[in-house]
Amino acid sequence: MPLSPVSRWLDVAVTDVSNPDYYHKVVDCQWACPAHTDVPGYLRLIALGRYDDAYMLNRESNVFPGILGRTCDRPCEPACRRGRLDEKPVAICRLKRVAADRRGDITDRLPTGAAEKNGKRIACVGAGPASLTVANDLLPLGYDVTIFEQTPKPGGLMRFNIPAFRLPVQVLDEECDYVIRMGAEMRYDTPITSMKGLLDEGYDAVFVGSGAPKGKELNLPGRWDAPDQVHIGIEWLANIHFGHVTRLEPRVLIIGVGNTAMDCCRSAKRLGATDVKVVARRGRQHFKASQWELEDAEEEQIEIIENHQPSRFVVEDGRLTGLEFDVLEWTEDESGRQRSTVLRKEIIPTDAVILAIGQDNAFPWIERDIGIAFGEWEMPVVDRETFQSTREGVFFGGDAAWGPENIIWAVAHGHQAAISIHAYCEGRDVAERPPRGMTLSSVKMGMQSWAYDNDYETAKRQKMTHEDLTTRFADIGIEVELGFTPEQAAREVRRCLNCDIQTHFTAPLCIECDACVDVCPTRCLTITPYVSPIDELRQLLSAPALNLDQEVYVSHALPQTRRVMVKDEDVCVHCGLCAERCPTAAWDMMLFDLKLPYAGQEMAIR
């Protein structure tokens, strides 16, 4: 973290809290979120019943709160501070859904396309979340944005791969429409078959948000002997969406154990399959699927088989009857590498096999002689910061940039690409990234009275109720998760520790009375002679600061003894007691508001 070299009084490496990254990192969820959504901010709005405001605050950074409140990969939750103190993190994702479900009509608060155009034309390939985010950011600035989509509808994989029992169509339609109605020109049923051709149309910039549309093959003996019974997961899910697949044989094997496999097995259950097995090459601890998706699948009585590696499709008289596996045992060698030995062969009888072992990118429509360089694995060379390809004015984002990720990453990419496109069109250097800013404001309302609820909620994480097990299979469109009840939502938002309400220290005010050190419930604070390096200092604290992912704050030298105030950010619960017990307000509680740059708003910051 940023350290300024010399304290005013002593040779102390003082933490520089004027760098927005320092306090931002304290807000664990916001730091972990690719789009840096202001989570504690919107949770407090939910607590106040201000659902419209909570929704709008979400939308600012993540564009699709209703969709993401059901489907987000939620990297925020494993990062959540609450998870380090309590068994489970705050149910951030499902609270996002609460904001979306309970909002009123917010249409008049949505951004609108600019009345006056700036004369620049942007083409987006694909109408997935990445392209829609680019459009969302550029339309208000006066750009003409044309989106080319090969299917008849917007949303990309969110529409034709994420099953409707996880994401209702009307939620998707509504949030895609919020962008489109700003004036995006939608060209549906229009696959781009030549990048050269597109470039020749004279657009000022092109954004490629075409996703990672190709499912991986499993070329084993017998693969092509009964092709009608073997499906590629993402194609098969799309076929369900488009109504090409409506029924399934009773026995189904899903190969692979990622999130696509989870959607495949649960979809199979809804198409009449009764005996659904998911087969994994390795043990449970190596599964790619999120824990909650595994739990949901197992709740639906789907069997998950470990340590089985497919070796042959068993085809008799032109019909697939089973899949042969090597049953593996995994051991670790001295270097820590996992090695497998084959214990035996085993045939699992089945009527259909669905391959869900990953996705590849495919760009057959991009010519290789137009200045867009491709590198390893036939992937375009894309700059990690600017999202620009090796051809100026051509940008990539979402799954198309570096392979399959998820929706929130696609959104984050879209925002960054929009910043680049705007800079490029204005003739500025795309590599010069606009800085992040922040504001800090005291939340003190009076003696021991704060503009936030600092009391600690002891409730455990609320459990999501699910649609009844018999009802839910009647139709693939029946949403399984029912959402939190108002009481559950009220309790769950109070579990948030308000990590954005920061403990802010002013060294010259401190009289070293120890009150803050003594009152802190989690022993975050220490007044100590300064010691460097920081790793040594970490050991000397009230409770040693052993979580190296978390920052340690070091103050200027204190007036009376020249010692320093040190705070381990790791398990501070932001209760504000240090500030309440401080006689001089050397500790204060300050609301940190991260100011993220978006296209057209770069200059507003700082």
List contacts with other proteins (CB under 8 A): 84-86, 448-450, 454-456, 458, 511-515, 517-519, 521-523, 543-544, 546, 560-561, 571, 573, 575-577, 580-584
Judged by CB, which is closer to other proteins: 238, or 517?
A: 517
Find which of ligand FAD, other proteins, ligand SF4, none residue 550 binds, CB within 5 to 8 Å per kind.
Answer: none
Residue 249 structure tokens: 């044989």
267 binds ligand FAD (CB under 6 A): no
Judged by CB, which is closer to ligand FAD: 339, or 368?
A: 368
Find which of ligand FAD, ligand SF4, other proteins, none residue 578 binds, CB within 5 to 8 Å per kind.
Answer: ligand SF4
Closest approach, Cβ 196 to ligand FAD, in A, equals 13
The residue from 28, 38, 53, 263 that contacts ligand FAD (CB under 6 A) is: 263
- Element (DSSP H or E) covering residue 260: helix 259-270
Judged by CB, which is closer to ligand FAD: 20, or 209?
A: 209
Judged by CB, which is closer to ligand FAD: 131, or 307?
A: 131
Closest approach, Cβ 113 to ligand FAD, in A, equals 21
Sign of CA pseudo-dihedral 368, 372, 375, 379: negative
Buried b (16+ CB within 10 A) or exposed e, 577-588: bbbbbbeeebbb
Closest approach, Cβ 293 to ligand FAD, in A, equals 8
Q: How many helices (H) and strands (E) does the chain have?
A: 21, 25
Distance, CA of 410 to CA of 430 (rounded, Å): 19
SS3 per-residue string spanning 326-364: EEEEEEECCCCCEEEEEEEEEEEECCEEEECCCEECCCC
Find which of ligand SF4, other proteins, ligand FAD, none residue 84 binds, CB within 5 to 8 Å per kind.
Answer: other proteins
Closest approach, Cβ 451 to ligand FAD, in A, equals 34
Interface mask toward ligand FAD for 385-424; x: CB under 6 A: -------------xxx---xxxxx-x--------------
34 binds ligand FAD (CB under 6 A): no
Q: What is the DSSP letter of 511?
A: -
DSSP-assigned letters across all residues of 177-231: HHHHTTT-EEETT-----HHHHHHTT-SEEEE-----EEPP---TTTTTSGGGEE
- State the amino acid at position 195 in one-letter form: M
Find which of ligand FAD, other proteins, ligand SF4, none residue 127 binds, CB within 5 to 8 Å per kind.
Answer: ligand FAD
Residue 189 structure tokens: 């049923």
Find which of ligand SF4, ligand FAD, other proteins, none residue 388 binds, CB within 5 to 8 Å per kind.
Answer: none
Distance, CA of 35 to CA of 55 (rounded, Å): 15
Judged by CB, which is closer to ligand FAD: 196, or 460?
A: 196
Find which of ligand FAD, other proteins, ligand SF4, none residue 504 binds, CB within 5 to 8 Å per kind.
Answer: none
CB neighbour list of residue 568: distance below 8 Å, 6 or more residues apart: 524, 526, 538, 541, 543, 545, 547, 550, 552, 553
Closest approach, Cβ 68 to ligand FAD, in A, equals 7
- Residues interacting with ligand SF4, by CB under 6 A? 503, 510-516, 519-522, 524-525, 572-578, 581-584, 586-587
Closest approach, Cβ 177 to ligand FAD, in A, equals 15
Interface mask toward ligand FAD for 189-208; x: CB under 6 A: --xx----------------
372 binds ligand FAD (CB under 6 A): no
Closest approach, Cβ 520 to ligand SF4, in A, equals 3
* Residue 147: strand pairing partners: 124, 186
Sign of CA pseudo-dihedral 239, 242, 245, 246: positive
127 binds ligand FAD (CB under 6 A): yes
* Residue 394: strand pairing partners: 206
Instruction: From 77, 63, 64, 467, select the one nearest 290 (Cα to Cα).
Output: 77
Distance, CA of 207 to CA of 126 (rounded, Å): 9
237 binds ligand FAD (CB under 6 A): yes
DSSP-assigned letters across all residues of 49-77: T-HHHHHHHHHHHHS-HHHHHHH---THH
- State the amino acid at position 67 in one-letter form: I
Q: What are phi and psi of 130, to 5 degrees?
A: -65, -55
Distance, CA of 359 to CA of 367 (rounded, Å): 21
Find which of ligand SF4, other proteins, ligand FAD, none residue 162 binds, CB within 5 to 8 Å per kind.
Answer: ligand FAD
Judged by CB, which is closer to ligand SF4: 253, or 515?
A: 515
CB 225 within 8 Å of CB 315:
yes
Closest approach, Cβ 288 to ligand FAD, in A, equals 12
The residue from 15, 37, 62, 161 that contacts ligand FAD (CB under 6 A) is: 161
Closest approach, Cβ 356 to ligand FAD, in A, equals 8
Closest approach, Cβ 525 to ligand SF4, in A, equals 5
Using DSSP's 3-state secondary structure scheme, residue 91 falls into: coil
The HSE-up count of residue 20 (CA atoms within 13 Å, CB side) is 16
Footprint on this chain of ligand FAD (rule: CB under 6 A): 71-73, 125-131, 148-151, 156-158, 161-162, 191-192, 209-211, 213, 234, 237, 259-260, 263, 365, 398-400, 404-408, 410
